[in-house]
Amino acid sequence: MQLGRVVGRVWATVKDPNLNAHRLLVVQPLTPEMQPAGKPIVCTDGTSSAGAGELIYWCGGKESSFPFLPSEVPTNATIVGIVDELQVQRP
């Protein structure tokens, strides 16, 4: 999983039917020091409550479609947690 911040949202009228009713959020991946880590991506939302500006963590790959089973949602990135607190201690 990786850290990220919700920075936007996209809408699509025409899309794969299995994406219907799923929110599509734009996420900027972040380092633990809150610096951008790569380019923004579009994520489905496995928490169904992640909102603009929130610090989240997301799961990539095939596993990111598992929160929606048995529906086979065509996603490769899904928000799976909303971060309350980070503890970072680098050596």
Partner 1 sequence: MMIGRVIGDVVATHKHESHQGRKALLVQPLELDGSNRGNAVIALDAVDAGTGDLVLLTMEGYSAMTAVDRPNSPIDMAVIGVLDLIEIDGRPAAHFFPAPRDH
Cα–Cα–Cα angle for 26, 70, 44, rounded to 5 degrees = 0
Nearest distance, CB of residue 25 and partner 1, angstroms: 15
Stretch that binds partner 1, among 11-19, 20-28, 41-49 (CB under 8 A): 41-49
Q: Specify the residue, 26 or 60, whose C-beta has the smaller distance to partner 1.
A: 60
Nearest to 23 by CA among 13, 10, 14: 10
Please tell me what DSSP assigns to residue 48: S
Does 88 bind partner 1 (CB under 8 A)? Our answer is yes
Please tell me what DSSP assigns to residue 51: -
Does 61 bind partner 1 (CB under 8 A)? Our answer is yes
Does 72 bind partner 1 (CB under 8 A)? Our answer is no
